[in-house]
Amino acid sequence: MMRRAEKRDLAEVLAIERASFDDPWSGEAFLAFMENPAVRFTVADEGGVLGYVIYSLICGEAEVYNIAVAPSARRRGLGRLLLDEALREAEAAFLDVRAGNFPAAMLYKSRGFKEIGLRKKYYDNGEDAIEMEWRK
Ligand SMILES: CC(C)(COP(=O)(O)OP(=O)(O)OC[C@H]1O[C@@H](n2cnc3c(N)ncnc32)[C@H](O)[C@@H]1OP(=O)(O)O)[C@@H](O)C(=O)NCCC(=O)NCCS
């Protein structure tokens, strides 16, 4: 089930984050997002947290800040369900993806996101960010 993240989820969320990214967010960063009323932080819970999405929705525009699925639970449709949660009430959505992140780019394209820009050397390791946009 999809539900709002709670503080007790932090350890599981951090484990997924660390398994998913070379430059993972800190626990403090996740807590700040949990406490930010402008941000929606949803977890996929199947007797344990298997993934999460963090996004904002302002005037029908969603911005996706983070999305990840536990490595052992990938390619079962959870990433798409989490992304759909962020798009559900949106008219438009925006996000950045690392130029080399093929699985994520494929997920976004499968939902109709289009590339709209490139932020050169956006990440600490010098990797470019691709800006993507979705319209309902
Ligand atoms: C990106 C991520 C969230 C996808 O989660 P997932 O649960 O595996 O995705 P889904 O099973 O819902 O896949 C949906 C679609 O995305 C695409 N996709 C996902 N993973 C893919 C891969 N490894 N290769 C190619 N296409 C892929 C496919 O089109 C897939 O549809 P299909 O299975 O019917 O072919 C997951 O790979 C992940 O957590 N990666 C690490 C974190 C990350 O990079 N987050 C994004 C930051 S911008």
The whole-angstrom separation of Cα 17 and Cα 25 is 7
Residue 69 CB less than 6 A away from ligand 1: yes
Predicted confidence (pLDDT) per residue in 92-126, tens digit = 999 999 999 999 999 999 999 999 999 999 998 89
Predicted confidence (pLDDT) per residue in 9-66, tens digit = 999 999 999 999 999 999 999 999 999 999 999 999 999 999 999 999 999 999 999 9
> Domain spanning 2-135: which CATH class is it, in words?
alpha beta
Ligand 1 atom with the smallest distance to the CA of 70 is: 39
CA distances 106 to 23, 79, 102, Å, are: 21, 11, 6
Ligand 1 atom with the smallest distance to the CA of 66 is: 47
What residue's CA is closest to ligand 1, atom 24? 103
Write down the pLDDT at residue 28. 98
Break the chain down into helix, strand, coil percent, rounded to 5: 35, 35, 30
The whole-angstrom separation of Cα 121 and Cα 96 is 12
